[in-house]
């Protein structure tokens, strides 16, 4: 269905809005050919071009682009559309109801891989505006919301280059999407053109990487579309089995937003972030040129791509990372569920008080707090390279204190021949298709040592506000030599972090605007505000944090921000790329209820 829509709809423009000026506008410092002037509130803005604007490309221009990208340009239809009689899109109405397809969509809506395989969906739907979810009433309204308008299903480097050039020359909002695996809405955007890189699936291993970074060892080169589970499976089949740093979630892509945000996971205690293991990138910059970035060539870009912000500097086509020999590993699960709040929070205090002890002994700890009441779920404690006896010895002081407290808990343990086997068995599958606002903060070692009572009080504030948390205990400075800490652009404070928290404020994507504003206020100033106050030595992780925090530049990058801003100006001076709250986006806003992306004048 989607493939046939382009020819039929590309010329039909049903969306029209008033503009202040319908002529080219020059904006100081930017060389985009056309801006559209808008006024929102008491401010004037110079905006990207959208359907209905005089500068939106005409049918012939879109058809030429489609020919250039080998017929891989698609009009985007929301994945929930088959359950609706009509999709009312900005390029025309489409009759979309299909009962069999609706049944398939409904059955798979909460499956991550289903959402990953969509051309332009976000795995979590808040930032799509939830205007076309699966339904049992086909007469329900289905509109595009904040999903993109068109998408290039890129198959070659030249397809990506054509999309970047077209967006730059026509001043379109451009989005780069691989899996849609982000919490902040970066994979969707009203009125935008998407370049989908998920088709780049090459994986190549080498035992003797000979390149930059003074490294001569095993490595893997992956295409932009490769997901963690794919490369980990192939690495495990090697002799001896190999492993690489990936995220905790197996469906995350490993060559895009993950590494550009840093990329933390169960191996971070040993090797740092995924960004710390990067050896080389092949990228396309905003001028449409394919470049190599490593420690010897375009070294500033190489540094920025390693944690400096997703979708900010270039489109990664392929990335090369270090690999490591996998190790036998052990894991332990723990669950505490009690109606006695005072006992429960004392148990949480005991558990979390050992965070520095856990990471100092090389453990990775994944836990959930506040989901379903007084519930703490640790699934799992991970001891990479540890026998069950060694792991239990690390955990024994905590269990002794829990036993003295008298709190009831359940626990289980297992050991595996490799970490990969443990990863497959003990880490639970995550879901997609749900809506909520996501924030987060990290807790520094000094915070635990000097201010732990306040941290637990902050946890209470989070859960009392109807929110919940997902914690990840690791230390990005534990196993990585200190002389390598500054080799990537991640916030230096991460090297002394012992716990990274994700906070979630549940809210529907199509909630009234006043409710959305209240939820954002709660996230920024109540939920995350409590954590920031209790853990002043912490920082925020760009891929899993509130992008609307008042000091996001410092929170995300600390002293590295000034250098990243200069690199952004060098490689993308005209704002071709955009992701919320990344270097150089201070003057960009999404006005008119979060639709048009504009420069404030």
**pLDDT score of 13 more than 90:** no
Q: How far apart are CA 181 and CA 431, in angstroms?
A: 11
Express each pLDDT in 276-316 by its tens digit: 999 999 999 999 999 999 999 999 999 999 999 999 999 99
Express each pLDDT in 348-368 by its tens digit: 999 999 999 999 999 999 999
Lowest pLDDT segment from 22-36, 260-274, 315-329, 491-505: 22-36
pLDDT of residue 372: 85
Q: How many domains does the chain have?
A: 3
Query: Per the domain annotation, does 581 fall within a domain?
Result: no
Please say whether the beta carbons of 523 and 439 come within 8 A. Answer: yes
**pLDDT score of 507 more than 50:** yes
End residue of a domain, out of 325, 351, 378: 325
Q: For the chain, what is the total number of helices (H) and then of strands (E)?
A: 19, 24
**pLDDT score of 25 more than 90:** no
Nearest to 179 by CA among 197, 159, 204, 161: 197
Would strands 468-473 and 242-243 be described as parallel, antiparallel, or unpaired?
unpaired
**pLDDT score of 24 more than 80:** no
A 10 A CB-CB count for 361 gives: 17
Beta bridge partners of 506: 436
pLDDT of residue 316: 98
Nearest to 378 by CA among 391, 387, 389: 391
Average pLDDT, the chain: 94
Local structure of 301: helix, strand or coil: helix
pLDDT of residue 20: 41
Say yes or no: 415 and 522 in one domain: yes
Lowest pLDDT segment from 206-210, 236-240, 488-492: 206-210
pLDDT of residue 210: 85
Express each pLDDT in 91-150 by its tens digit: 999 999 999 999 999 999 999 999 999 999 999 999 999 999 999 999 999 999 999 999
Q: Which helix (H) or strand (E) is 205 found in, with range?
A: strand 203-206
pLDDT of residue 18: 37
Express each pLDDT in 161-186 by its tens digit: 999 999 999 999 999 999 999 899 99
Residue 39, domain CATH: 3.30.43.10
End residue of a domain, out of 280, 298, 325: 325
Say yes or no: 336 and 434 in one domain: yes
**pLDDT score of 15 more than 90:** no
Say yes or no: 193 and 235 in one domain: no
Say yes or no: 447 and 524 in one domain: yes
Say yes or no: 224 and 306 in one domain: yes
pLDDT of residue 10: 46
**pLDDT score of 273 more than 60:** yes
Query: Per the domain annotation, does 99 fall within a domain?
Result: yes
Residue 408, domain CATH: 3.40.462.20
Q: Where are the alpha helices (DSSP H) in 496-540?
A: 513-521, 528-534
Structure-token match 């009572």, residue found: 453
Say yes or no: 401 and 335 in one domain: yes
Please say whether the beta carbons of 385 and 363 come within 8 A. Answer: no
Q: How far apart are CA 550 and CA 408, in angstroms?
A: 41
pLDDT of residue 29: 67
Query: Per the domain annotation, does 580 fall within a domain?
Result: no
Percent of the chain with pLDDT over 90: 92
Say yes or no: 410 and 452 in one domain: yes
Query: Per the domain annotation, does 509 fall within a domain?
Result: yes
Query: Per the domain annotation, does 492 fall within a domain?
Result: yes
Mean pLDDT (whole number) for 254-272: 96
Query: Per the domain annotation, does 529 fall within a domain?
Result: yes
Mean pLDDT (whole number) for 202-212: 92
Say yes or no: 305 and 366 in one domain: no
Say yes or no: 317 and 349 in one domain: no
**pLDDT score of 580 more than 70:** yes
Domain that holds residue 509: 329-557
**pLDDT score of 427 more than 70:** yes
CA distances from 202 to 156, 199, 230, 495, 597 (A): 12, 9, 10, 32, 34
Say yes or no: 399 and 539 in one domain: yes
Mean pLDDT (whole number) for 577-601: 95
Query: Per the domain annotation, does 576 fall within a domain?
Result: no
Percent of the chain with pLDDT over 70: 95
Nearest to 261 by CA among 189, 183, 200: 183
pLDDT of residue 23: 53
Say yes or no: 209 and 193 in one domain: no
Q: pLDDT confidence of 211, banded at 50, 70, 90?
A: confident
Please say whether the beta carbons of 359 and 498 come within 8 A. Answer: yes
**pLDDT score of 28 more than 80:** no
Residue 216, domain CATH: 3.30.465.10
Q: How far apart are CA 419 and CA 282, in angstroms?
A: 29
Q: pLDDT confidence of 429, banded at 50, 70, 90?
A: confident
Q: How far apart are CA 203 and CA 193, in angstroms?
A: 27
Q: Which tokens sit at 601?
A: 């004048």
**pLDDT score of 3 more than 70:** no
End residue of a domain, out of 325, 354, 381: 325
Query: Per the domain annotation, does 268 fall within a domain?
Result: yes
Say yes or no: 320 and 374 in one domain: no
């Amino acid at each position: 269905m989607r493939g046939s829509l382009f020819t039929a709809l590309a010329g039909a423009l049903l969306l029209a809005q008033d503009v202040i000026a319908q002529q080219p506008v020059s904006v100081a410092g930017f060389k985009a050919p056309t801006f559209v002037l808008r006024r929102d509130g008491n401010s004037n803005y110079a905006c990207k071009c959208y359907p209905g604007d005089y500068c939106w490309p005409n049918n012939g221009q879109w058809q030429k682009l489609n020919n250039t990208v080998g017929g891989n340009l698609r009009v985007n239809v929301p994945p929930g559309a088959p359950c609706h009689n009509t999709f009312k899109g900005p390029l025309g109405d489409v009759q979309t109801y299909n009962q069999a397809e609706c049944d398939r969509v409904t059955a798979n809506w909460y499956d991550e891989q289903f959402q990953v395989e969509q051309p332009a969906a976000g795995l979590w739907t808040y930032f799509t505006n939830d205007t076309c979810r699966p339904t049992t009433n086909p007469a329900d309204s289905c509109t595009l919301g904040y999903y993109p308008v068109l998408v290039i299903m890129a198959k070659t480097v030249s397809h990506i280059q054509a999309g970047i050039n077209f967006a730059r020359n026509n001043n379109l909002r451009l989005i780069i999407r691989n899996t849609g695996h982000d919490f902040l809405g970066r994979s969707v955007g009203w009125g935008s053109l998407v370049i989908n890189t998920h088709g780049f699936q090459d994986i190549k291993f080498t035992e003797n990487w000979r390149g930059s970074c003074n490294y001569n060892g095993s490595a893997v080169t992956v295409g932009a579309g490769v997901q963690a589970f794919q490369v980990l499976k192939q690495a495990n089949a090697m002799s001896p089995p190999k492993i690489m740093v990936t995220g905790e979630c197996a469906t995350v892509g490993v060559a895009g937003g993950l590494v550009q945000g840093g990329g933390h996971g169960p191996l971070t205690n040993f090797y740092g972030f995924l960004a710390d293991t990067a050896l080389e990138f092949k990228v396309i910059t905003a001028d449409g040129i394919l470049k190599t970035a490593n420690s010897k060539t375009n070294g500033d870009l190489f540094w920025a791509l390693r944690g400096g912000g997703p979708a900010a500097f270039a489109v990664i086509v392929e990335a090369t990372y270090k690999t490591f020999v996998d190790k036998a590993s052990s894991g332990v699960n723990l669950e505490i569920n009690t109606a006695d709040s005072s006992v429960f929070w004392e148990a949480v205090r005991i558990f979390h008080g050992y965070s520095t002890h856990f990471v100092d002994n090389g453990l990775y700890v994944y836990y959930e707090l506040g989901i379903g009441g007084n519930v703490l779920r640790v699934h799992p404690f991970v001891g990479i390279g540890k026998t069950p006896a060694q792991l239990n010895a690390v955990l024994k002081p905590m269990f002794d204190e829990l036993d003295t407290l008298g709190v009831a808990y359940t626990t289980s343990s297992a050991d595996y021949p490799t970490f990969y086997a443990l990863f497959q068995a003990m880490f639970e599958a995550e879901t997609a298709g749900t809506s909520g606002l996501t924030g987060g903060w990290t807790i520094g070692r000094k915070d635990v040592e000097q201010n732990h009572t306040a941290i637990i009080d902050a946890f209470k504030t989070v859960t009392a506000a109807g929110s919940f948390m997902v914690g990840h205990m690791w230390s990005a400075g534990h196993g990585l030599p200190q002389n390598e800490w500054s080799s990537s652009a991640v916030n230096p404070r991460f090297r002394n972090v012992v716990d990274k928290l994700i906070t979630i404020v549940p809210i529907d994507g199509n909630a009234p605007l006043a409710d959305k504003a209240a939820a954002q206020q709660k996230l920024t100033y109540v939920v995350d505000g409590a954590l920031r106050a209790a853990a002043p030595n912490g920082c925020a992780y760009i891929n899993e944090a509130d992008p609307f925090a008042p000091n996001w530049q410092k929170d995300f990058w600390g002293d590295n921000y000034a250098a990243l801003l200069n690199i952004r100006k060098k490689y993308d001076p005209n704002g071709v790329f955009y992701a919320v709250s990344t270097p150089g986006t201070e003057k960009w806003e999404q006005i008119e209820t979060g639709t048009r992306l504009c420069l404030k004048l």
